[in-house]
Structure 1
Amino acid sequence: MNSLFPEAGTPGEYGMILSDYLQTLVMYIILGATGHIGSAVAQHLLDQQQEITIITRSPNNAALWEKKGAVTAIADIRNTTALKNIFSKGKYLFLLNPPASPHSDTTVEELLTINSILEAVKDSPIEKIVAESTYGAQPGDNIGDVGTLYKLEQGLHKLDIPSCIVRAAYYMSNWDMCLESAKNEHKLYSFFPPSFKLPMVAPEDIGKFAAGLLLDEKKNEGLYFIEGPETYSPADVAAAFSHSLKQKVEPVEIPRPEWIDEMTGMGFSDQAALSFSNMTALVLTETLTTPTDPIRGNTSLQEYISAIAAAR
């Protein structure tokens, strides 16, 4: 098997110890490969016959990637020593800070992982980093990903390693959770008004672009913005579900005074609900910086929604 246990000093379940791993140079290390975007990055690299190492906490996820031909390193991202050992023989790194559980104080938890990653990559032999960020990343507290990922960006700028920051628009995958209500209730619930247009992008398009940056031998450091072919509204999402499910789906706005209660009812902690609410308000007031000439993904909203509806 191709699994590694960086925190162990003796052979583990998968039969390889860290010293075995450190004998060879790894070209591409993927942090965050079990999500939509990281998995797309990893798969694109494998399709190009590249050698990659996936960092994951889950032996089950490790087994799935090993079947595809990847090497896996099992580690808790907050274990800085384990990450440092993994990075010590890497060359190129794709970095996506994993989202914290909404049951926790997401800002605190995500900053812990960001600090661990930055400390681990410091003084490593990594020659280039491609990091996933978000539209509107900006300084501020309790504003969700736009605040925590801004701190990640600033931390990377302080390192002596060329970094490509990919700021992505609103993920089309955020609508995945709406499939059940669209199918069973014929309703699509959203914190945005039905007619509110915003840039969206498919995770596959982000992953393909990020993989291209990793494969390019030039440093290419700087800030990149990526979104889909056009802007879309919740009404457009409802129409896409209507087309895919062959039934009328109605967009329903959740009023702003009800946001916090709605989120806590879904299992968000009070702190997470506040942060997500503040971030959503920034989107609605259009105070997030957006580019005039972004990179365009090819996947339309209808193509994305049709694919998830068919898959389920």
Structure 2
Amino acid sequence: MNIIVGATGQVGSNLISELKNNGFPVRAVVRNPDKLSDKTIETRTADLFNEEQLTEAFKGGTTVFVLTPENPTSNDIIEDTKRIIENYKKAIQATGIKKVVALSCVGAHIESNTGNVLMSRILELALADLEIEKVYIRPSYYFSNWLGYLETIEQYGVLPTFFPKDLKIEMNSPIDLAKFIAQIMTGTSSEMKRIYELTGQKYSSLDVANAFSRLLNKNVSVQSIPQDKWKETLISVGFTENTANNLSDMTQAVIDNKTVPERPNDTIKLPTTLEKYLDVQLNK
């Protein structure tokens, strides 16, 4: 049985579909089952802060997919991350899980103040002493992050960005990522620890705006948010001061070119282009 934490997210939902469509048993672990798009799959309700609920959700599983929390309303996202990961470990040990596949990110090998990337580093380091098969998946920036600006793009013809408009960074499709993870979860290996660093093609915010312009048949311009306005902007859309600082730290790490592969010659390039991904999402 493949246990999926974060089953309603961009990666988790696609991962469940991929496993199910290929005939593999899958169970979704969610806090709110109503948010699941597929109501036919086996589901367990669990709060990641509740060790007992998480242990119950993991029972009968052989492989588990875990990730760090995404909670803009947290007042201490790093401490929350540590608590959740400790619960993962206890649930894994209590239920005899044989393999853990952890969603990390490119740059997790760096010991630095990197915000959300630091959360991935904490995840990798904390799972290291588990005496089971461990696989760390380190993808680059998701195409899907740009869809959060769709309403602003459609209404005002403006793409806000925290990056310099010409800064090109590695980006990939969460659907490609889910397909890759499904293969890793259901495959076999004699190695007790593996790291996969996944890249795509490099795009700038200007490239993204131009892709939206073509697909929506309207002019879309880039509006770079200055660094001294990052925190204020994030708080205005529901982030706490703590999570705004954390995301700002990650943004600066990207700009400073810290979020790069540990082993650049061994990366795996995911195939889907930005425009192809956006075209499918906009025409659902």
Q: Normalised by the shorter chain, which TM-score bucket?
A: over 0.9
Residue 274 of structure 2 corresponds to 301
Q: 2:125 aligns with which of 138, 154, 158?
A: 154
Unpaired segments ≥5 residues, structure 1: 1-26
In structure 2, what is the equivalent of residue 5 of structure 1?
Answer: none
Structure with the greater alpha carbon radius of gyration:
1
Alignment correspondent of 1:283: 254
Report the CA distance shift for 1:186/1:219 in structure 2 as closer, same or farther (over 3 A): farther
Superimposed CA distance per residue, residues 152-189 of structure 1 (whole angstroms, 9 cap, x where no aligned partner):
10111111011110001001111011111111111101
User: Deviation string for 1:216-262 (max 9, x for gaps)?
Assistant: 1224531101122x111000100110011101101111111111111
Percent identity over paired residues = 31
User: 1:246 aligned to 2:217?
Assistant: yes
Q: Of 37, 41, 44, which aligns to 1:73? A: 44
Matches of 2:111 and 2:95 in 1, distance apart?
A: 27
Say whether residues 1:116 and 2:126 are aligned partners. Answer: no
Q: For residues 255 and 292 of structure 1, do their structure 2 counterparts lie closer, same or farther at Cα, with a shift above 3 Å needed?
A: farther
Q: CA RMSD in A?
A: 1.7
Which residue, out of 192, 202, 217, partners 2:188?
A: 217
CA contact (8 A) 1:94 1:130 kept: yes
Report matched runs for 1:189-228 at 5 Å.
189-220=160-191, 221-228=193-200
The separation in 1 between residues aligned to 2:190 and 2:88, in whole angstroms, is: 21
**Structure 1 pair 235–102 and aligned structure 2 pair: CA distance change class (3 A):** farther
1:265 corresponds, among 217, 220, 236, to 236
Return the letter of the residue paired with 1:132. L
CA contact (8 A) 1:31 1:38 kept: yes
What secondary structure, in the 3-state scheme, does the structure 2 residue paired with 1:251 have? strand
Q: Which residue of 2 aligns with 1:45?
A: 19
Give distance in 2, aligned partners of 1:118 and 1:249.
46
Q: Does 1:144 align with 2:118?
A: no
1:140: how far off? 4.4
**Count of paired positions:** 280
Provide TM-score, normalisation by structure 1.
0.85
CA deviation map 1:280-312 (0-9, x unaligned): 11110112232234212121100122222223x
Greater length-normalized contact order (CA 8 Å, ≥ 6 residues apart):
2
